[in-house]
Amino acid sequence: MSEKIVISPTSRQEGHAELVMDVDDEGIVTKGRYFSITPVRGLEKIVTGKVPETAPVIVQRICGVCPIPHTLASVEAMDDSLGIEIPKAARQLRELLLAAHDINSHAIHQFLIAADIVPADLMVTAINSVSEIRKNAQYVVDMVGGEGIHPSDVRIGGMARNISELARKRLYARLRALKPKLDDHVELIIGLVADKGFPEGLGVTNAPSLATHQLYGDRTKFDLDRFTEIMPETWYDDPEVGKRACTTIPLYDGLNVEVGPRARAEVFHGFKGKGVVAQHVARALEMKTALSKAIDILGELDTSAPVMADYDVTGTNKLGVGAIEGPRGMDVHMAQVANGKTQFYSALVPTTWNIPTMGPAIEGFHHDFGPHVIRAYDPCLSCATHVIVVDDEDRSIIKNEMVRI
C-alpha cells in the first residue's frame, strides 16, 4: 500500500523547500518530488527600467550565501549586452574572487552536513578545519571584492580597483600556507564520506551534466536555443505540488539536467561516479582546484595594470548572457540594455536547474535517505524563486504565474 511522506521544510539548506515522497510498504521511495516553497521577492522586476549599474548591486542580494556568483553573472551579462571587453587584470580578479568564494562556500556546506557524516569523536576536528579554511578564503573575498558579502568592487566594465602589490604578496603567501591544511581537510572529508557507508547507487540519476567551465564560466558554452523554461504544474504529476511550487523548470534539450561540482568534474575532468558520495567527493576535490587557481592568479597578476574598460551605457537592446559556475552550479543571468536602461532581466540560478533532478534522485531507496540526497546538492532556494502563488483567505490557490511576466 502506497504512503505519502512529506518533509516541510527540508533542513540544513538556504531557503525553504518541501520534499514529498511516495513510499511502498517497505518504506522505499517510488516517487520523489522536491520543490521550493520560498516566497518570491521579484528582484528581476526591481532592476528592470533602471540604469544598468543598479542590477549587480540589487541581484547580489538574491542570496547571502552565494552573492559572489550572482554579482559576477550580472556584470558578465551587462558586459555582454553593452559589448564590453574587460581588461585582463579585471578578469583575473574576478576569477580570483570566485575561486576564493568557492572554497568558502564548499566549507560552509561541509559544516551543514557534518551531522550526517562526522562521528562525535571527530566533530571538533572537522569543525575547526572548516573554520580555518573559511577564515582564509573569506579574507581573500574581502580584499578582492571590497566586501565579504556584497562585493562592491565588482563593476560593469571590470573592477573598481586593482589590489596593491603588498596585498598581492600577502594573499599569495597566505594561500600558499593554506594549501597543506586544505589538502588535509579534503582528505578528511572524503574519508568521512567513505566511512559513512551510504548505500551504493544512492542519489544516482540519468540526468545529463551541464557545465560551461571547470571553475569560472563561459557564456559561449551556454546555447540559448537549447534552453526552455516551463511552469511547475506542467512538470509535476501531482497537481497540488505543481500549484504550490515557487520555481520554474529549466530544461536543456528538453531534459532536466544536473549542475554543480560533480557535473563540472565530469564534463571537464572525466570524473567518474554519480550520486551522493560522488557529489561530496567532487565538491571537496574542487576546493583544491580552486585554491590552485587562486594561487596561480596571485602569482601572475600585474597590480599596476588597468582593471576598468571604457564603455557606453546606452546599449543596443542586445540580450547579454553571463554564465558563471557558482559553488552550486551554472548561474546564468540575462540582461538587455537599451536607451541607458535595463529592458529585461532574468536569472537562472543553479538550484533552479537541480530542483527537477533532485526529486527523482531519491527514488529506489528508503525514505530516510531522502534528506541526505537533497543535502548532497547543497540547494539554495531563495535564489531559485521565480513564481508567485496567489491564494485566498482559506489558502486555496487561485493562480500562480511567473513573476517577471
Domain ranges in the chain are 3-402
Distance CA 317, CA 333 (A): 15
pLDDT at 132: 97
Residue 293 is which amino acid? K
Using pLDDT thresholds of 50, 70 and 90, give the confidence band for residue 321: very high
Distance CA 297, CA 172 (A): 9
Q: Would you say 95 and 318 are in contact if contact means Cβ atoms under 8 Å apart? A: no
Distance CA 94, CA 79 (A): 13
Q: Collapsing DSSP states into helix, strand and coil, what is residue 161?
A: coil
Q: Would you say 379 and 18 are in contact if contact means Cβ atoms under 8 Å apart? A: no
**pLDDT at 152 exceeding the cut of 70:** yes
Question: What pairs with residue 249 in β-bridges?
Answer: 230
The per-residue pLDDT for range 168-197, each reduced to its tens digit, is: 999 999 999 999 999 999 999 999 999 999
Sign of CA pseudo-dihedral 256, 260, 266, 271? negative
Q: Would you say 16 and 33 are in contact if contact means Cβ atoms under 8 Å apart? A: no
The per-residue pLDDT for range 113-139, each reduced to its tens digit, is: 999 999 999 999 999 999 999 999 999
pLDDT at 139: 97
Least-confidence region, from 246-250, 278-282, 360-364 = 246-250
Q: Average the pLDDT over 46-59 and give the result.
A: 94
The per-residue pLDDT for range 4-25, each reduced to its tens digit, is: 999 988 888 888 899 999 999 9
The per-residue pLDDT for range 212-235, each reduced to its tens digit, is: 999 999 999 999 999 999 999 999
6, with CB counted inside 10 A (0-12, 13-18, 19+), is exposed
Distance CA 140, CA 163 (A): 11
**pLDDT at 244 exceeding the cut of 50:** yes
- Of 154, 93, 132, 60, nearest to 349 by C-alpha is 60
- Of 91, 96, 97, nearest to 158 by C-alpha is 91
pLDDT at 2: 76
Report the mean per-residue pLDDT for the chain. Answer: 92
Distance CA 164, CA 98 (A): 19
pLDDT at 13: 86
The residue length of the chain stands at 405
Using pLDDT thresholds of 50, 70 and 90, give the confidence band for residue 400: very low
Distance CA 40, CA 108 (A): 24
Q: Which residue has the higher pLDDT, 307 or 64?
A: 307
Q: Would you say 335 and 343 are in contact if contact means Cβ atoms under 8 Å apart? A: no
pLDDT at 399: 45
Task: Please report, rounded to a whole number, the percentage of residues in the chain having pLDDT higher than 90.
Answer: 82
Least-confidence region, from 40-44, 143-147, 370-374 = 40-44
pLDDT at 382: 75
Q: Average the pLDDT over 319-335 and give the result.
A: 97
E strands, 209-340, where? 227-230, 249-252, 316-326, 329-338
DSSP state of 61: G
Q: Average the pLDDT over 327-340 and give the result.
A: 96
Using pLDDT thresholds of 50, 70 and 90, give the confidence band for residue 283: very high
Q: Would you say 333 and 224 are in contact if contact means Cβ atoms under 8 Å apart? A: no
pLDDT at 190: 98
190, with CB counted inside 10 A (0-12, 13-18, 19+), is middle
Question: What pairs with residue 33 in β-bridges?
Answer: 20
pTM: 0.93
Number of H helices, E strands in the chain: 14, 12
Q: Average the pLDDT over 191-215 and give the result.
A: 97
**pLDDT at 276 exceeding the cut of 80:** yes
Between 2.10.109.10, 3.20.20.70, 1.10.645.10, 1.10.1660.10, what CATH number should domain 3-402 receive?
1.10.645.10
Q: Would you say 331 and 73 are in contact if contact means Cβ atoms under 8 Å apart? A: yes
Using pLDDT thresholds of 50, 70 and 90, give the confidence band for residue 384: low
